[in-house]
Structure 1
Amino acid sequence: MQEVLRGGSRSGLEKIEASIWQTYQALPKNEFGHIGPRAVRYLVHNYFAKEHGWLIKGLEPHGHQADMSQVHEVNILQDKAPALVESLLEAQRRGRGLALQDAVAMVATLERLIFDEAVILLHAAYRLNSVVPVVQLDEASMHEVLSSYLVLFEMGQKADLNNTDLHRALKTRAAEVSSNWPLLVEFEQDSLHNYLYANKDKRNPFLAVQMFDFEDAVSIVESMAHGYGKWQNTECQQMKRELMDLDSEGHGLVPLGRFYSQPENAEYHFTETREYLRQIGALQESSAGLHVRIANYMTGPSNCIASSSYYSVCCLNECEGLMNELEAKVLAPTTTPHRLLDLVVNMSSATIDAPRQIPAALEQKLHLIAKHNDGQVPLHGRLFAQWMHYAFPHECPYPQIAEDASVLTPTYWEKEKSTVNRTERAQLAEAHHSISEAPQVAEDVLELSWSDHELLVVQEVPKAGGSVLRILMQLALLLGLLHTTMRNCSTTMAAAKRDSKGGRAATWERRTSRKQIPQICYLSITALTL
């Protein structure tokens, strides 16, 4: 990983470090002051989710599991960087963990590998437009190549990288019928113009026609890949507002009947099955009926609009920004409930203005979390994630314990039924319309689905076998030291007896030392056996 640091651009590495160092400080450390595999996983996922809107395959979002994958199991690392995987495994075997600079190198490597994937698509975009990378393109031709790149990117693994006729037909069809096409073209054009402005000092302003070589195209595509996630999140926010209009009580919950009852002229029709909603943690089932959790739905795999072999682009998890704000202020894995309350009441979100009053029942829950953790609240535990869900119900997903984290990935639902047709949706709306939608006070909502199950997702779980081996080794060392000490004491005491027969030649200090020898041996043996 040090090779990555030496080979990466200083500005790029500094940007990554500036983005992650506060979160790094807030994660639990081992005896070397480094973070372990679980914390590394959290850190890497958090960076790509907040900076790019990327869900790296192998680093699932808000699924809380006792047994979770680790960074070295991420698909793209195993396929493209086996040497780095081996370095991670070696660090894990030695138990040293990753220092901040190692974590920066890890993130930089993943980012570089994914940008390299974008360049592969760019080559295909050139080919599908019947141009070659060695030829410079005018602005109109470059726009065609870049729009082709975005079409391939959004199609993900379904894209045909070689069929020119099919690709042209897809672009023509999208331009005619897709409401998203003008926005996509605008994003591509803005990216190219931003590149021209950023590089105006390096280009000839007197040229009548601006020409672009392949290196220019690579730079623009990297910029597009970097910013696409945040750009597409605008549509996610529109969808969220639509769902919030259905949440009359403001608890982040939409009655299931209302969820399926959108009129035909509505901008969004929600078609996910109950089983899909249940498995991703978006279905709250209680005595008050069935409700869709808005935050869980928004971060679910059905809202990932582009997917490659190694990552997907999904709606941004707004809770991660709130958590990063807390991490930056706490800079420790745990803190007191009073400190957290002081911070949270002054935090704003897209739907909450600060300062505000936290409900008494929710305050009490935070103190109960601390009571079970020696007066401290673990920032990255399941219980605090649950508390944040109720404090920010439209931003923070409910932390459902996932038996199988693969249900949180788009790939899983390619093979499973996740949507209903119009007839089925109408039947579901009718079936759930009669269920009571009586308003619930905040305390009732809190108690209906609160779970006291804790899970410290970034805390390392000691391996049982390793613990037994370590104890046996310590025991063997102790017995060896005890045996050596007793043998030395016996020899010393025997010598002291012989020396005591010297009578008048012995000094006062020697006589004192002889008297203390049995006592010193006794204390040494006692200390070893404690």
Structure 2
Amino acid sequence: MPFPFFAFLALWVCGHADRPGEHSLMVELAKRAHGNHCQDHILESIEAKMGANRKEWIEGQSIGFEAALRPLFAVLPHTPTGGLTANAARYALHRVFVDARGWNVNGLEESKLYALSLAQNGPAELPPLHRILQGEVPQEVESAFEKCSADMGVQELALLAATLDELVHQEVLQQVKAVFKAKKLPMFGHIDDQQLQKVLEQVMIGYICDAAGIVSPEREKYIDGKLDIKEKYPSWLNLQNFLHSIQEVVLPTQATRVDFEDLTNVIKELNEHYGRWQNGECQVLSQELRQLESECPGHVPLRDFYSSHFSRGNWQFTESVAYLRSLGALEESQREKPKLISTNYVLGANNCVATSKYYSQCCLNQCDGHLRKLEKAVAKSEVAPDDLQAAVKAVLPEPDMPALVSKKLVEISQKPGQAGRVALHGLPFAEWLHHAYPRECPAPKIHNLPEELPGHFETRNGKSPAFSDEDMEAYLKKLPEVDRDQECHIAWTEEPVETWTMESPVESRRLLEVTAPFSSLWVCACVGMLLGGLVASRFTSKNPQASNESQETMTA
């Protein structure tokens, strides 16, 4: 009979599949052998409630997202059944959207992941992952994603990413329609290239106003040109040139008249590439901060940060102490000598532009590039310190203070629950990366203060996120002079070691060690049963007598 044969074959094959990656692969093979019902259910719900065209668009986009997710899926912490843990799934989507689009999706912010990983019940407190869709899909589609959320595989994550991407596309359509309607432009006719440029500029001015918390009627005055947007966004001329370059790429060079669909394609392309363009400004900002460094690389004495606003004309260095603290951009281990953490400042919400209700365009995290190289080099989520140190030496630049940070890797691996390994995507290694590469890697945010756009911070706190010149001068008088000969001192946190697993690290590892042989056999048996069942069903469908005999045997 085919059924026991396939079960036996699967058990024999799985004799060597005792590693987490191979275990996950067998689970995925089991899903595919029986048909990925979860993925199919999501697509069926999308087609039934959102239409065949939108379903086809989402399914097509998911291919690219799946390819981007697979390398991460292989090295992030998994559940015992092979899916990603709740925090790991969020981190994977965050990384893919930042890498592919430069989008910081609302609800997937990396700093919040590290903060939540410190909470006693972090994963249980996380909102459902499908909330990133902002309730803009039918309830049946949300329910389909929710049913798959307990143990999401790479296909389901890719579909969720593609669905969000499609919602952004629909949002773009609505924004363009609103501008056309306000300016009484023809929806089904043509406009000339000057009108096109004007519409693009008005859409971008709207984004800038939203990020700065500028509301009507002042917002309309900026959009109409009655107020100069350069006062709020000094890089406006550079942005205009970028808009023009996008037009040249998307539209035929000989086109002098375009229609609504052409304009929509231009803005879609703009949304996808704006984050990369904006990152050029972020690099300039990083260089300005580097010139202000004193004894510690990647850190600027707060006194020098504020003083440069007056002495160097750094117009953007005005954020208040309270707002910098909420961004996680202050190093206050020596409270009388606070320092600005340059990378956290550059990556903060203060440098984001809210171009969508679903995401913000923020500066790109250079540390993600370091992590990608390490993920490829070690190909697992937990690594022995010697192996990790060898990988760092092989694929990354030499760290600052190499002896100190190398010793720290051993200390991390010896903490309770680590079993001599370092979690590649845990809080302690994130902090290690910050100390090793302070100009590229941010300090993990360990407090629960919300990181907000300036306008949202002011609304919630009733205080301005920026100092006035008078407030800044008053604060500078309180700070002591900077000691240029002082040695660098940046404190290490002594928070409990946590990794992104459903249980605590030690419980999760013991569970895997105890149950791995049995779970592997169980998974492999399931594969065999599924394969055998499929063959048996085909066999019996062609042989009614065999089908009757099988039915009688089951009854007995």
Return the offset for 1:147: 1.7
- Matched residue, 1:142: 196
1:191 aligns with 2:235: no
Q: Secondary structure at the match of 1:312?
A: strand
Aligned residues: 439
Determine which of 292, 305, 325 is the counterpart of 1:246.
292
Q: Secondary structure at the match of 2:451?
A: helix
- Matched residue, 1:360: 403
The structure-2 alpha-carbon separation of the partners of 1:272 and 1:108, relative to structure 1 and needing over 3 Å to count, comes to same
- Matched residue, 1:369: 412
1:113 aligns with 2:150: no
TM-score by length of 1: 0.75
- Matched residue, 2:187: 133
Matches of 2:217 and 2:192 in 1, distance apart? 23
- Matched residue, 2:374: 326
Per-residue displacement from partner, 1:64-100 (whole Å, max 9, x unpaired)? 22235345363534233533432233234xx4x1111
Determine which of 227, 235, 238 is the counterpart of 1:180.
235
- Matched residue, 2:457: 413
Q: Secondary structure at the match of 1:401?
A: coil
Aligned residue type for 2:89: V
- Matched residue, 2:270: 224
Aligned residue type for 2:444: P
1:104 aligns with 2:147: no
Aligned residue type for 1:420: F
Kindly indicate whether the alpha-carbon contact (under 8 Å) linking 2:74 and 2:379 is maintained by their aligned counterparts in 1: yes
- Matched residue, 1:303: 351
Per-residue displacement from partner, 1:314-369 (whole Å, max 9, x unpaired)? 22222223222222332221112222222223445xxxxx3567621110100111
Q: Secondary structure at the match of 1:74?
A: helix
Residues 53-132 of structure 1 aligned to structure 2 (within 5 Å): 53-63=102-112, 64-65=115-116, 66=119, 67=122, 69-72=126-129, 74-92=131-149, 95=150, 97-132=151-186
Return the offset for 1:195: 0.7
- Matched residue, 2:205: 151
Q: Secondary structure at the match of 1:111?
A: helix
Per-residue displacement from partner, 1:386-429 (whole Å, max 9, x unpaired)? 0000111012111131224x335556413233221101111222
Structure 1, 311-320 or 148-157: larger mean CA deviation: 148-157
Aligned residue type for 2:204: L
Matches of 2:322 and 2:232 in 1, distance apart? 32
Per-residue displacement from partner, 1:294-326 (whole Å, max 9, x unpaired)? 111112221113354332222222222322222
Residues 238-317 of structure 1 aligned to structure 2 (within 5 Å): 238-262=284-308, 263-287=310-334, 289-306=337-354, 308-317=356-365
Kindly indicate whether the alpha-carbon contact (under 8 Å) linking 1:260 and 1:271 is maintained by their aligned counterparts in 2: yes
Return the offset for 1:382: 0.6
Determine which of 421, 428, 438 is the counterpart of 2:475.
428
Identity value in percent: 26
Matches of 1:138 and 1:307 in 2, distance apart? 25
Determine which of 411, 427, 431 is the counterpart of 1:386.
431
Structure 1, 129-138 or 79-88: larger mean CA deviation: 79-88
The structure-2 alpha-carbon separation of the partners of 1:455 and 1:356, relative to structure 1 and needing over 3 Å to count, comes to closer
Structure 1, 68-77 or 50-59: larger mean CA deviation: 68-77
The structure-2 alpha-carbon separation of the partners of 1:241 and 1:132, relative to structure 1 and needing over 3 Å to count, comes to same
Q: Secondary structure at the match of 2:339?
A: strand
Return the offset for 1:384: 0.4
Flag structure 1 segments of 5+ consecutive residues without an equivalent.
349-353, 463-530
The structure-2 alpha-carbon separation of the partners of 1:82 and 1:166, relative to structure 1 and needing over 3 Å to count, comes to same
Per-residue displacement from partner, 1:157-201 (whole Å, max 9, x unpaired)? 76779999746533773379964222121111111110135xx8x
TM-score by length of 2: 0.72
Matches of 2:361 and 2:401 in 1, distance apart? 34
Structure 1, 432-441 or 413-422: larger mean CA deviation: 432-441
Per-residue displacement from partner, 1:455-502 (whole Å, max 9, x unpaired)? 53522248xxxxxxxxxxxxxxxxxxxxxxxxxxxxxxxxxxxxxxxx
Matches of 1:309 and 1:10 in 2, distance apart? 23
Matches of 2:398 and 2:481 in 1, distance apart? 38
Matches of 1:160 and 1:128 in 2, distance apart? 17
The structure-2 alpha-carbon separation of the partners of 1:310 and 1:165, relative to structure 1 and needing over 3 Å to count, comes to closer
Matches of 2:232 and 2:446 in 1, distance apart? 41
Kindly indicate whether the alpha-carbon contact (under 8 Å) linking 2:148 and 2:156 is maintained by their aligned counterparts in 1: no
Return the offset for 1:379: 0.9
- Matched residue, 1:500: none
- Matched residue, 1:472: none
Aligned residue type for 2:405: L
Structure 1, 453-462 or 235-244: larger mean CA deviation: 453-462
The structure-2 alpha-carbon separation of the partners of 1:161 and 1:32, relative to structure 1 and needing over 3 Å to count, comes to farther
Residues 156-175 of structure 1 aligned to structure 2 (within 5 Å): 156=210, 166=221, 169-170=224-225, 173-174=228-229
Determine which of 398, 409, 415 is the counterpart of 2:443.
398
Matches of 1:358 and 1:221 in 2, distance apart? 46
- Matched residue, 1:49: 98
The structure-2 alpha-carbon separation of the partners of 1:71 and 1:342, relative to structure 1 and needing over 3 Å to count, comes to farther
Structure 1, 218-227 or 34-43: larger mean CA deviation: 34-43
Kindly indicate whether the alpha-carbon contact (under 8 Å) linking 1:41 and 1:70 is maintained by their aligned counterparts in 2: no
The structure-2 alpha-carbon separation of the partners of 1:194 and 1:293, relative to structure 1 and needing over 3 Å to count, comes to same
Aligned residue type for 1:313: Q
Return the offset for 1:228: 0.9
Kindly indicate whether the alpha-carbon contact (under 8 Å) linking 1:126 and 1:132 is maintained by their aligned counterparts in 2: yes
Matches of 1:175 and 1:278 in 2, distance apart? 28
Flag structure 2 segments of 5+ consecutive residues without an equivalent.
1-38, 47-53, 505-556
Matches of 1:165 and 1:358 in 2, distance apart? 52
Kindly indicate whether the alpha-carbon contact (under 8 Å) linking 2:329 and 2:342 is maintained by their aligned counterparts in 1: yes
Aligned residue type for 1:386: E
Kindly indicate whether the alpha-carbon contact (under 8 Å) linking 1:151 and 1:171 is maintained by their aligned counterparts in 2: no
The structure-2 alpha-carbon separation of the partners of 1:400 and 1:265, relative to structure 1 and needing over 3 Å to count, comes to closer
Matches of 1:125 and 1:132 in 2, distance apart? 11
The structure-2 alpha-carbon separation of the partners of 1:303 and 1:37, relative to structure 1 and needing over 3 Å to count, comes to same
Return the offset for 1:37: 2.1
Kindly indicate whether the alpha-carbon contact (under 8 Å) linking 2:59 and 2:162 is maintained by their aligned counterparts in 1: no
Kindly indicate whether the alpha-carbon contact (under 8 Å) linking 1:335 and 1:377 is maintained by their aligned counterparts in 2: yes
Return the offset for 1:236: 1.4
Return the offset for 1:242: 0.8
Matches of 2:266 and 2:313 in 1, distance apart? 36
The structure-2 alpha-carbon separation of the partners of 1:316 and 1:107, relative to structure 1 and needing over 3 Å to count, comes to same
Return the offset for 1:135: 1.2
Pairwise CA RMSD of aligned residues? Answer: 2.9
Matches of 1:356 and 1:236 in 2, distance apart? 22
Structure with max Cα Rg = 1
The structure-2 alpha-carbon separation of the partners of 1:108 and 1:420, relative to structure 1 and needing over 3 Å to count, comes to same
Matches of 2:99 and 2:111 in 1, distance apart? 13
